[in-house]
Amino acid sequence: MSDPAVSDGAVELGGRGSAQSDLAELELRAAAKAAARAGGEDRLSGHIVCDGLVRIFRTEGVEVVALQGLDLVVDRGELLAVVGASGSGKSTMLNILSGLDEPTAGVAKVAGYDLLGMSARKRLEYRRTIVGFVWQQTARNLLPYLSARENVELPARLASGRRLRAKNKAGERTMELLDMVGLADKAGRRPGEMSGGEQQRCAVAVALANDPEVLFADEPTGELDEATADEVFGALRTVNAELGVTVVVVTHDMTVAGQVRRAVAIRDGKTASEVRRSARIASDGTEEHVSEEYAVLDRAGRLQLPAAFVEALSLRDRVRLNLEQDHVEVRPGSDARPGSDARPAGGGGSAR
């Protein structure tokens, strides 16, 4: 079997690239191809679709490729966590998906809105009617001189003339939402009279006041302790289940994978791996949760090896790949000598 080149944990199982080509240009071309392939085809169906998403920032002649061909599909009604270290591109992705920023290339679609090349009018409509947003800083989410009820009622009233059914009046909806996030008894309190967790749960209610289809939350529990963060996640799970709103939570906290069914990890502006949790009934009749981690294979056949695997086997520069009947074997390149079929002692990993 051939041994495709590999560097920095990114394995190219399919296509072949030119070493001389500028990375950004390659990514742009890949994204353009992905976009062309995606055009009009419903195999990229999903409530939220990113395909070959690229965002390049240019400041004073320096280019930063914040998103390097990111692929992500989120189903309607899903609750997804996007996890990544600082600088991995989480906020860039969220800013694009919420209509605050525009991608350089690729596909970004939410609820049927194509976010690439959208007019200013359409963008405003999108942000007003489709998106709800929760920021990390509570001060950005709530007006300090209004009570919890008034904070929720304000956007609900603005939206009521436009989208909400007549019978679902702003006041009713406000109390319904506050109840859902467990704040019905604190409706009269101002943000300063609520705990950090209560403020963030109130922010969730505010973000839902305009009856959006998707809710984006950027590090909503970043300033909270673990127990309080759990309560905020509990509120997000409730509104997701009760209202069917699609929820995407971005965080650097790897432990949130335990709070959601699907958590996608971003590394260097790309989706690298994902953890899925499911419930099953154990032999003693109790319900147990099972977590399975997957590496994400993009359309060009590339995947990122988990950093822990790369470190454990001291993989660097290049590795050897062998196609076995039902899995691909990855071995340190330094152990493979030309003309030798000797296997490394204890080295190598494999993927099924």
- Binding footprint of ligand ATP on the chain (CB under 6 A): 57, 59, 64, 66, 84, 86-92, 252
Q: Based on CB atoms, which residue is closest to ligand ATP, 41 or 60? A: 60
Task: State in angstroms the smallest separation of the CB of 144 from ligand ATP.
Answer: 25
Identify the sign of the CA torsion 61, 28, 16, 275.
positive
Residue type, 149: R
Locate tokens 């406000």: which residue?
Answer: 174
Task: State in angstroms the smallest separation of the CB of 251 from ligand ATP.
Answer: 8
Task: State in angstroms the smallest separation of the CB of 92 from ligand ATP.
Answer: 3
Pairing label, strands 270-281, 113-114: unpaired
Cα separation, 97 vs 117, whole angstroms:
13
Cα separation, 306 vs 273, whole angstroms:
8
Task: State in angstroms the smallest separation of the CB of 102 from ligand ATP.
Answer: 12
Q: Based on CB atoms, which residue is closest to ligand ATP, 20 or 59? A: 59
Q: Based on CB atoms, which residue is closest to ligand ATP, 66 or 229? A: 66
Count of Cβ atoms closer than 10 Å to residue 123 Cβ: 15
Nearest to 208 by CA among 247, 251, 182, 260: 247
Q: Based on CB atoms, which residue is closest to ligand ATP, 68 or 174? A: 68
The whole-angstrom distance between residue 12's C-alpha and the CA centroid of its chain comes to 23
Q: Check: CB of residue 264 under 8 Å from CB of residue 271.
A: yes
Task: State in angstroms the smallest separation of the CB of 159 from ligand ATP.
Answer: 29
Q: Check: CB of residue 68 under 8 Å from CB of residue 120.
A: no
Q: Based on CB atoms, which residue is closest to ligand ATP, 101 or 335? A: 101
What are the backbone angles phi and psi of residue 276, rounded to the nearest 5°? -115, 135
Task: State in angstroms the smallest separation of the CB of 87 from ligand ATP.
Answer: 4
Task: State in angstroms the smallest separation of the CB of 232 from ligand ATP.
Answer: 18
Q: Based on CB atoms, which residue is closest to ligand ATP, 127 or 252? A: 252
Burial class (CB in 10 A: 0-12, 13-18, 19+), 250: buried
Q: Based on CB atoms, which residue is closest to ligand ATP, 88 or 259? A: 88
What are the backbone angles phi and psi of residue 95, rounded to the nearest 5°? -65, -35
